[in-house]
Amino acid sequence: MELPTGPGHRSSPMRPQSEDTVFDSLQFGEDIQHLISVPPENASSFTALLELPPNQAVELLHSPDSTLRTRTVIETHHQKPYLQPQFNAANLAFPTNSGLIERAARLSVFAGENLNNISNNSLETSSGPSNSSANLEKVVKSEPAEAESDLNPSQPLVSDPTTVENGAQNQRPVKRKEREKKGKSSTKKSKSSGNDNSEDAEKLPYVHVRARRGQATDSHSLAERARREKINARMKLLQELVPGCNKISGTALVLDEIINHVQSLQRQVEFLSMRLAAVNPRIDFNLDSTLAAEGGSLMDSNFPSMVMPLTWPEVQVNGNRQNYQQQWHFDAVNQPVWGREEDSYNFITPENSLLSYDSSANSDHGRLEDKGLEIFDVMVKGNNGIQAEIEHYGCVVDLLRSAGRVEEGFEFYQKDAF
């Protein structure tokens, strides 16, 4: 993948990951721009700032092979000596996931276009990409000159602060928060610029955790804070799902509402199934065994929902007799539900199809045509508003014929048909 050389490309010795370094130098310039522009204040949740839905954001967070790296943020104004590296080009990390690289490259192109448009109002100066290196040098000089205690021992210390690239293949995702030792931001601008960096994250696959003013910066606090942010994002999503939960503030009450809603939904399912059971034509079936048998085969093939009976006849009928019985039963369950709201013509279709399936699908009918007769009887006698049409009779006769009981079919026809 050919990446354009970034504005802040350094001439320092490059690591073997050449394209990564080039790529990262491009991002690095944007970093500075984003730092020194004014970002939104209320970056309460960096996951919310991400354009991704929380699921993907969490996926990004939990990228297993540490494809996510965080980047340290330039602390422009802070004078406090750090125990952890505040900003160091050495700590810039690279996405190793090719998908992430592509995405970031694609997005960083757009971000790069904004480099010239961002108006900067910070102490550090201009916004041109050509000045990024100058900014970088100024910023880095304000940093304490002490070598950072590298948390990642595999990561080499960088002597040249302008070195963008670094062999920083941080293989431990938990370290990414330790990279971000922001410390207390002495000015609002630094804090807001840090938040802007989290907004930067929506363009690039980095997840930033910025320490706000007055908050601890050790690794545990950061991890906890990231976790809290995740949980809050999920809670917000749930709040939107549950009707009437938007006004409630406070996690406990929202949880109460969620629990009530889930309980009410389950009770609704129970109540509706009871209603179905009450008006169902009295067909008894053995569900438990059929479900157990069906579960194994269907789960593998990711069977579509069985609640849709109109698609049932199109369902592939395997020659398995057991499965066929199940289909019959389930359609019998679903029949009255659909039959009532459609006219009789539409209602005929599943019944006809099933009757025809009955005759064609199995060579050894055994008791199946008896079962078909039984179903027909129930259908006729049942009080669910179904009238026996000529198609039904035809199907029954055909069923009996294929079973070898032609005489019986003839009698049936003579007896009942009009």
Least separation in angstroms between CB 408 and another protein = 19
252 binds another protein (CB under 8 A): yes
For another protein, the closer of residues 102 and 342 by Cβ is: 342
15 binds another protein (CB under 8 A): no
For another protein, the closer of residues 194 and 309 by Cβ is: 309
Among 238, 248, 317, 373, binds another protein (CB under 8 A): 238
What 3 state SS string does the chain have?
Answer: CCCCCCCCCCCCCCCCCHHHHHHHHHHHHHHHHHHCCCCCCCCCCHHHHCCCCHHHHHHHHCCCCCCCCCCCCCCCCCCCCCCCCCCCHHHCCCCCCHHHHHHHHHHHHHHHHHHHCCCCCCCCCCCCHHHHHHHHHHHHHHCCCCCCCCCCCCCCCCCCCCCCCCCCCCCCCCHHHHCCCCCCCCCHHHHHHHHHHHHHCCCCCCCCCCCCCCCCCCHHHHHHHHHHHHHHHHHHHHHHHCCCCCCCCCHHHHHHHHHHHHHHHHHHHHHHHHHHHHHCCCCCCCHHHHHHHHHHHHHHHCCCCCCCHHHHHHCCCCCCHHHHHHHHHHHHHHHHHHHHHCCHHHHHHHHHHHHHHHHHHCCCCCCHHHHHHHHHHHHHHCCCCCCCCHHHHHHHHHHHHHCCCHHHHHHHHHHHCC
Among 295, 366, 385, 404, binds another protein (CB under 8 A): 295
For another protein, the closer of residues 48 and 90 by Cβ is: 48
56 binds another protein (CB under 8 A): no
311 binds another protein (CB under 8 A): no
For another protein, the closer of residues 5 and 260 by Cβ is: 260
Query: Within 377-396, which residues bind another protein (CB under 8 A)?
Result: 378, 381
417 binds another protein (CB under 8 A): no
Query: Within 205-234, which residues bind another protein (CB under 8 A)?
Result: 227, 230-231, 234
63 binds another protein (CB under 8 A): no
Phi, psi of 201 (to 5 degrees): -65, -20
For another protein, the closer of residues 123 and 380 by Cβ is: 380
Which residues, 6+ apart, have CB-to-CB distance to 344 below 8 Å?
386, 387, 389
For another protein, the closer of residues 65 and 284 by Cβ is: 284
Tokens of 155: 């990561």
Size of residue set near another protein by CB under 8 A = 63
Task: Convert residues 331-370 into a mask of x (bound to another protein by CB under 8 A) and - (unbound).
Answer: --x---xx-xx-----------------------------
330 binds another protein (CB under 8 A): yes
Residues 258 and 20: their CA atoms lie apart, in Å, by 45
Among 1, 16, 110, 274, binds another protein (CB under 8 A): 274
Among 130, 154, 286, 318, binds another protein (CB under 8 A): 286
Among 55, 121, 125, 246, binds another protein (CB under 8 A): 55
Among 109, 216, 241, 380, binds another protein (CB under 8 A): 241
262 binds another protein (CB under 8 A): yes
Binding positions for another protein, rule: CB under 8 A:
54-55, 58, 227, 230-231, 234-235, 237-238, 241-242, 252, 255-256, 258-259, 261-263, 265-266, 268-270, 272-274, 276-278, 280, 282-289, 291-292, 295-296, 298-299, 302-308, 325, 330, 333, 337-338, 340-341, 374, 378, 381
